[in-house]
Amino acid sequence: MSGPVHVQSDGEWQSLLSKNSVVVADFYADWCGPCKMIAPHFERLAKEHSRPNKVAFAKVNVDNQANIARTNGVTAMPTFVIFHNGSTVQTIRGANPSALTEAVTKAVALADGGKAEAVFKTPGRTLGGDGPVPAQRHWSVTVLLNVVMMLVGLYFTSLFSARRGAVHVQPEETAAIAGEAGSGWRTGASGQCPTATTETERCFSTSKAALQEPSAIPGSQSAEDIEKVVREAKQRFRDTLPKGYLSVEEYALYERLYGPPLRETAPEDVGIPTHADMEGQVTRLSDEGTLLRELEGGGFEEVIYRLPFADGEAEEPSISEQLSASEAAVEAVEESLSYIDAVARNPREHEALQRLMQDFKAAQKKQMEEEIVAARAEAEAEQEAYEMKEEEGEVLFDEQDPASPGVEMQVLSGEARRFHPYTLQGRFHGSPVEISLPQTSFVTPIRDLLDRTHLSHVKAAAEAAFGGPGLPTSPSTPEGKKNGQMGGVGLPPDQRHMTEIEADAFLAGFLPPAYASVTSVLREVRRRLGSDWIQERLKRSENAGLSVLDAGAGGAGLIAWEQILNAEWDLLREKGEVKGTQPPGRKTVITGSDRLRHRLKSFLHNTTFLPRLPDYEHSGEMQGEHLDAGDKPQPRKSYDLIIASHLFLKEKQDHYRQAILNNLWTLLNKDGGVLIVIEKAHPRGFEAVAHVRDTLLKQFLLPQNGEPGTPAEELNPAFHREREAGHIIAPCTNHGTCPMYKEAGKSKGRKDYCYFNQRFTRPTFYTKMLGNSSNTQGDVEFSYVAIQRGHLKADQRPGWKATEQAFAGYEHSQESPDMQTLPRMVLPPLKRKGHVTLDVCTPEGKIERWTVPKSFSKLAYHDARKSHWGDLWALGAKTKVARSVRVGSGVDDGGKRAEGGKKPRKVEISMDGGRLSANEKNARKERRSKGKRDRQTDLIKEILEAEDLEEREIEREMDGEVEEELRLEEEEEEKRKRRR
């Protein structure tokens, strides 16, 4: 017998239904706790009852196969659906092993030739289901005997409990138990029980056991019963306990075994917030509508849209109406299968968990009230401020004002009403500024992978790999950890060998900030190039899509790219220009470790994994000699987008960086391919990015119109190549020398460098890696450059001319500016009373300070105060001054910094009292005073050195005298010879 079949596509699902007479399908989700609990039971049933071409068991992941789930009306997990000849005959919702076993037994009878009407007479109402409830019950002798025995047992038990004063069975309880034919939910001794036959029998048996066990009666519990209760409480609530959960005897044993509990149990301790979605869905507000859009496969998808409130129609629902809708949603959930019903093992646990769930709902309701009140107050204050400005004649921007040419005559709201359109187009950050990491495709899969190991071990491994607490050598460096951390990332994705715990540490500590930085850069590239850059490739006849290479981001770049690509694909689908649910294209990621690759495969679908960068620069043409090649050369792989994160900083030598750049440029598509280089935000990271930019401008790209070319003598003949068209997309608006990188190489004492910031929402596992679980707001700083190959910049004006036009401003200009010719803010704006100072990098290649006073323009002043670091500025300024850039001094500039900051040593020798003494003029001052013994040692040393110096001086004088005597003797000898 074979096990269940995991359905991977719609075609496989249809094939399974057509080939088998009976199909039992398990619709599950990876995050669903009850799904995991009942999965082994479903596996056993599949192995026992599977028959080739007759009975098949299938598992369908609702997250991956949403179309199949929608077609079969799956709204809760787990849901078991039995198909006979392709038609649904029974549906079971919830983790109910007995009901599932009974249904499978009936389904097997169908495969043997039975009829569905005879086998499944009355499906009944399953746990959490919505099937029809039978009007009358079919009684049997066995059922009657069971009911009679229960009534007799309840009678004697009530008499016994009346004497002991323990359990009091109310008349309505007995009536509820006896009235088995009723419908809905009944309250028994063990909680709530559904009316389905199997669930009723299980509930009655639980009630009977609860009433007859001695452990249910205080004073009659045995030591084994007390120990069982205590151990179950420890398993369920860990180091906490609900208030009043244990009796005096039980609590005494709990303290003796485990010590006192740390605190009272909170809903988070038992996973209630994580599984609160099992309690049902919240009712939508009255300003939302629903449409069903037909898909290509014949199914439908649900589309939610907001209904605008026109004049004369009903206004937005009030706070009380919204809260009443939420309360109604909570009440409607009571009839469905809940998380508590699935995990509670006894009535005591069920009651305690129910109280915790009520506390959680009350806290949620209070939070919802506060959020609604705060949002309403903020909206009213904003509207009141705007109306006040309208009355005073200070409307910031009106789309119907004829003084604002180039703007469509339409009434907008929100930011479009308060800001100039060019200000909105030039923004670097989105709205909102903070990026939320995608839950389904990113956060949830990583969290599931990390659940296999305790996070404390992952945190220790992450700190060992990324430089200690705070992870300073990860893509995001904390504010207090920047000093001395000038290297690359501690654990790159192309590292060949990783242990299991290191691979988990990479997922937890590297991917979240890497995703935020790549997303920020991709959004900027998309704004500057426009949607046509993506949509044109998606609409091509060959429908090949876009190919992307993630070289350094470890898969985070691919997740970020999918968010942008899917948005463009949805726009094209709405226009009817493309068909299909998924955009075409190729995705490739560089991962050196097998352990990391296996983890990334679980959530990076349809992705090619490479252990290193392919090297096509030194390879020959693929033709003729190969079996799979024809006469024509085979086209080499090229990528429309290459995300090179943290590749250059780790290389210390310039020629290594040059080799990587040459390889990446070879892989880039010649017709509009985009290369993005990202490094960490510190002087060394900026210098690595600036070196790439400088090399591309000098050796790879043709000079732009009005820009000077590089002299031939500055080119390296080893890397000389034919220049081609291309331009810098962002962040630079000039194609000359970077004003912060005028001299190539490292620079000591650099204070000013180009980098940017992106805020993102930290997932829970990432905050635990940082050791601060309360702060969910993170920031990542990075330096980057984005270049497009094969296309020149649209505006070919010289940089000085573009700067002059930008300084004059485009607020009332007839000409629409090219956003890539506007100055960019390289620092946060300085806001003062009556004026704003902007530090910008101009298209001319200079760092200047532009001042925008209120007298210059009310709109420009308003937008300048609301601008952010990294924005492009189009509204001009009143004054500008050059700003000095603190770039430090190079290593080989010959100054004192290049020599390590040390002055040359000078020793002065003097004669004092008939003895020589040596004194060093530039000697370093001692930080600590010397002791008596040290002073004596120094004095003796000084005396010995003076004596040695004096002896050498005496020897030198004596040598001089001897030489003088010899010279005189030689002269005398010469005179005597002459006389002869």
792 confidence band (pLDDT: 50, 70, 90): confident
pLDDT, one tens digit per residue, over 294-349 is: 555 555 555 555 544 444 444 444 444 544 544 444 444 443 346 677 777 888 88
Kind and range of the H or E run holding 679: strand 674-680
- Average pLDDT rounded to a whole number, residues 456-482: 87
Q: Which helix (H) or strand (E) holds 643?
A: strand 641-645
Domains of the chain: 5-119 (3.40.30.10), 135-219 (no CATH), 221-265 (no CATH), 272-309+318-393 (no CATH), 439-619+637-682+755-789 (3.40.50)
Residue 208 identity = K
Q: How much is the pLDDT for 588?
A: 94
Helix (H) or strand (E) holding 547: strand 546-551
pLDDT for 916 beyond 80: no
Mind listing the pLDDT tens digit for each residue in 205-236? 333 333 333 333 444 578 888 888 888 888 88
Torsion angles phi and psi, residue 707, rounded to 5: -100, 135
pLDDT of residue 856: 92
Coil, strand or helix at 226: helix
Asked if residues 851 and 879 have their Cβ atoms less than 8 Å apart, the reply is: yes
Which range (46-55, 178-187, 490-499, 660-669) has the least confidence?
A: 178-187
Cα distances (Å, whole numbers) of residue 95 to 40, 79, 84, 120, 276: 11, 8, 22, 20, 16
35, 193, 203, 754: which one is catalytic?
A: 35
| 732 noted as active-site residue | no
The pLDDT score that the predictor gives to residue 275 is 62
Residue 196 vs residues 99, 124, 151, 183: alpha-carbon distances, Å: 9, 6, 20, 9
List, for residues 385-427, the tens digit of each pLDDT value.
655 554 444 444 443 333 333 333 333 445 677 888 899 889 9
Q: Which residue has the tokens 């392919």?
A: 614
Residue range 898-919: mean pLDDT, rounded: 56
113: left (phi over 0), alpha (psi -120 to 50) or beta: left
For the packed helices 171-178 and 141-164, what is the interaxial angle rounded to 10 degrees?
170
Joined together, the tokens standing for residue 571 give: 């726009």
- What does the block give as tokens for 738? 């970077």
- Distance, in Å, from the CA atom of 786 to the CA atom of 673, rounded to the nearest integer, reads 10
- Of the candidates 65, 214, 195, the one whose C-alpha atom is nearest the C-alpha of residue 132 is 195
**3-state helix/strand/coil string of 750-792:** CCCCCCEEEEEECCHHHHHHHCCCCCCEEEEEEEEEEEEECCC
pLDDT digits (tens, 9 = 90+) for 550-570: 999 999 999 999 999 988 888
Is position 35 annotated as part of the catalytic site?
A: yes
Marked catalytic residue, from 32, 738, 754, 841: 32
Structure tokens that stand for 869 in this block: 């670091």
pLDDT in tens, 130-158: 444 333 444 455 545 555 555 555 555 44
Cα separation, 656 vs 695, in Å, equals 13
Nearest to 126 by CA among 101, 83, 91: 91
Distance, C-alpha 96 to centroid of its chain: 36
Of these ranges, 431-440, 680-689, 908-917, the one predicted with the greatest mean pLDDT is 680-689
3-state helix, strand, coil in the chain (%, to 5): 40, 15, 40
pLDDT of 419: 86
Read off the tokens for 643: 């995300």
pLDDT digits (tens, 9 = 90+) for 586-632: 999 999 999 999 999 999 988 999 998 887 665 555 444 555 555 55
Please give the Cα distance from 12 to 190 (Å, whole number).
Answer: 44
Q: How confident is the model at residue 548 (pLDDT cuts 50, 70, 90)?
A: very high
Look over the chain and give the mean of its residue pLDDT values, rounded to a whole number.
Answer: 75
Lowest pLDDT segment from 215-224, 276-285, 744-753, 958-967: 276-285
Instruction: Specify whether the backbone of 32 is left (phi greater than 0), alpha (psi in -120 to 50) or beta.
Output: beta
DSSP string, 452-485: TS-HHHHHHHHHHHTTSTT-TTSSS--GGG-TT-
β-pair type (889-890, 747-748) = antiparallel
